[in-house]
Amino acid sequence: MPLRFHNTLTQQVEPFQPADGKTVRMYTCGPTVYDFAHIGNFRTFIFYDLLRRWLRARGFALNHVMNITDVDDKIIRNAMAANQTLEQYTAPFTEAFFEDMRTLRVETAERVVKATEHIPQMVELIRCLGERGFTYQSDGSVYFRIAKFPGYGKLSHRDFGGERSGARVDGDTYEKDDARDFALWKAPKAGEPAWDSAVGRGRPGWHIECSAMAIEYLGHTLDIHAGGVDLVFPHHENEIAQSEACTSHPFARFWIHSEFLLVDGQKMSKSLGNFHTLRDILGRGYAPESVRYLLASVPYRKGLNFTFDGLKSANTAIERLRNFQFRLTGTHFPEGVDPQLLERTEAAGRQFSEAMDDDLNTAEALAAVFEFIRDANTAMDGGAFRRGNVEPAKRLLEHFDAVFEVLQTTVADTALPDADVAQLVAERTQAKKSRDFARADRIREELTLAGILLEDTKEGVRWKRK
């Protein structure tokens, strides 16, 4: 079966290929930098990351654009309250966002673009819409007339049928039942930032920024547009209306939306106050890999309920993977190869890939790896595992980790560097040789306190971080 994704536009799981067969042109909605992102937001960013990595594993090149929303209603409100410019207010949150992304090993897009640096492109798009009769002005703001665009509602699968025609909404976000003409360009208000432009003095609405930047860098038809499920309406519905009304081309071939991270069945969100930032969680002693694993382990179209027990289980799962890797690289296996086990390894690789091809079914993909590990451990216990089985098993782990990327331990800045660990291990071996067991024990204790585990094997001492 080919690679396939669920397309919100058609509500079907469909085979996916980029239009040119080579490079995936993809746009994903990025953060609004008005505060620290919470791990609910990061579920969506990790979903983008899995999507990127799997598209690459399938041989496609990527041209991925993600925006930073650095001007919107909330940012303006907060910046004004703090008596700061937009730039002063958003810079530290933007920096924190990328730091968290790195901590979670989330790849960044080929191009990250800021809304405030693309005002001319937005104005040009609004001008194009005006020329085609899709806009009108009221009190210095420019609105999109949804009754003029017959496809309005095709993404969220609602027939708005011209209801509330002529009614307007100024806010950037609003409820599904509230389909109204939305602001493309907002009239200036006292004290608010504003730009002079061909459509008057003012500032852009939130929706126009994504259309303008996507078209600027990726052309009129994208292969994939992705985002969290809360963006289907109104944000993505409005993006389609603005883009297609101007270009007369379908805006995106695939619309892919990820479900929420939940807390007790409710969306994790700033407004409900039920959120955790990555910083909170790391402060409680959890590893970033555990957060990454947890958020990646449930297929993106299923809600995922966040609990600390879930994080602990993620940690246990990673430990199992690492212990297996440790055993695989550290054991002296007998010569030869077990053909049955070889076939078992290849089957696990196929199952992993088939699961990922199936709309990124990460739960099935993980199951394929863990079932293999169970069988391989049994084979090792029984002596069936041979030296020739090591490389294929390692390749399976690499294939897995190219997507999940949790095997490598995050080494804290304060951790003992590898060279120092090696030095202490050598000193301990020397102490044992000269029968200074007290000193050897002291070194082992010191290493244990630094989070280093030692294993004495026939081939010598091996060490790993806890």
Q: Output 214 or 379, the one with its CB closest to ligand AMP.
A: 214
Q: Output 230 or 354, the one with its CB closest to ligand AMP.
A: 230
Q: How far apart are CA 400 and CA 136, in angstroms?
A: 53
225 binds ligand AMP (CB under 6 A): no
Q: How far apart are CA 196 and CA 221, in angstroms?
A: 29
User: Among Zn ion, ligand AMP, none, what binds residue 44 when CB lies within 5 to 8 Å by partner kind?
Assistant: ligand AMP
User: Among Zn ion, ligand AMP, none, what binds residue 353 when CB lies within 5 to 8 Å by partner kind?
Assistant: none
221 binds ligand AMP (CB under 6 A): no
Kindly state the smallest distance separating residue 212's Cβ from Zn ion, in Å. 11
Task: Please select the residue that binds ligand AMP; options are 94, 173, 247, 269, rule is CB under 6 A.
Answer: 269
* Strand duo 252-258 + 222-228: pairing: parallel
Q: How far apart are CA 37 and CA 270, in angstroms?
A: 9
User: Among ligand AMP, Zn ion, none, what binds residue 210 when CB lies within 5 to 8 Å by partner kind?
Assistant: Zn ion
Q: Output 101 or 210, the one with its CB closest to Zn ion.
A: 210
65 binds Zn ion (CB under 5 A): no
Task: Please select the residue that binds ligand AMP; options are 18, 130, 202, 227, rule is CB under 6 A.
Answer: 227
The residues pairing with 183 across neighbouring beta strands, listed in sequence order, are 143
Edge-to-edge strand ranges of the sheet holding 304-305 = 266-267, 261-263, 304-305
What is the footprint of Zn ion within residues 19-38 (CB under 5 A)? Answer: 29
What is the footprint of ligand AMP within residues 229-258 (CB under 6 A)? Answer: 230-231
Q: Output 6 or 428, the one with its CB closest to ligand AMP.
A: 6
440 binds ligand AMP (CB under 6 A): no
Query: What secondary structure does DSSP assign to 81-122, as a single string?
Result: HTT--HHHHHHHHHHHHHHHHHHTTPPPPSEEEEGGGGHHHH
Whole-angstrom CA distances from 375 to 19, 284, 407 are 41, 35, 20
Q: Would you state the torsion angle of the CA atoms of residues 217, 221, 226, 227, taken in this order, to the nearest 10 degrees?
A: 80
* Strand duo 261-263 + 266-267: pairing: antiparallel
User: Among Zn ion, ligand AMP, none, what binds residue 228 when CB lies within 5 to 8 Å by partner kind?
Assistant: ligand AMP
User: Among ligand AMP, Zn ion, none, what binds residue 32 when CB lies within 5 to 8 Å by partner kind?
Assistant: ligand AMP
108 binds ligand AMP (CB under 6 A): no
210 binds Zn ion (CB under 5 A): yes
User: Among Zn ion, ligand AMP, none, what binds residue 18 when CB lies within 5 to 8 Å by partner kind?
Assistant: none
261 binds ligand AMP (CB under 6 A): yes
260 binds ligand AMP (CB under 6 A): yes
**C-alpha distance across the termini of the chain, in Å:** 40
User: Among ligand AMP, Zn ion, none, what binds residue 268 when CB lies within 5 to 8 Å by partner kind?
Assistant: ligand AMP
268 binds Zn ion (CB under 5 A): no
Q: Output 39 or 397, the one with its CB closest to ligand AMP.
A: 39
Secondary structure element (H or E) that encloses residue 240, with its range: helix 237-247
Kindly state the smallest distance separating residue 74's Cβ from ligand AMP, in Å. 9
User: Sign of the C-alpha dihedral, residues 378, 379, 383, 389?
Assistant: negative
Q: Would you state the torsion angle of the CA atoms of residues 35, 36, 41, 45, taken in this order, to the nearest 10 degrees?
A: 110
Task: Please select the residue that binds ligand AMP; options are 7, 8, 44, 290, rule is CB under 6 A.
Answer: 44
Q: Output 220 or 301, the one with its CB closest to ligand AMP.
A: 301
78 binds ligand AMP (CB under 6 A): no
Whole-angstrom CA distances from 274 to 30, 38, 333, 382 are 21, 10, 50, 49
Three-state DSSP at 361 gives coil
Per-residue burial over 263-277, b = 16 or more CB atoms within 10 Å of its CB, e = otherwise? beeebbbeeeebbbb
Which stretch, 24-32, 77-85, 126-134, 360-368, contacts ligand AMP (CB under 6 A)? 24-32
200 binds ligand AMP (CB under 6 A): no
- Are 210 and 235 in contact, with CB atoms under 8 Å apart? yes
Kindly state the smallest distance separating residue 29's Cβ from Zn ion, in Å. 3
267 binds ligand AMP (CB under 6 A): yes
Per rule CB under 5 A, count of chain residues that contact Zn ion: 2
Q: How far apart are CA 386 and CA 404, in angstroms?
A: 27
Residue (of 81, 82, 85, 60) closest to 71 by Cα position: 85
Residues that bind ligand AMP (CB under 6 A): 29, 31-32, 40-41, 43-44, 227-228, 230-231, 260-261, 267-269
Residues that bind Zn ion (CB under 5 A): 29, 210
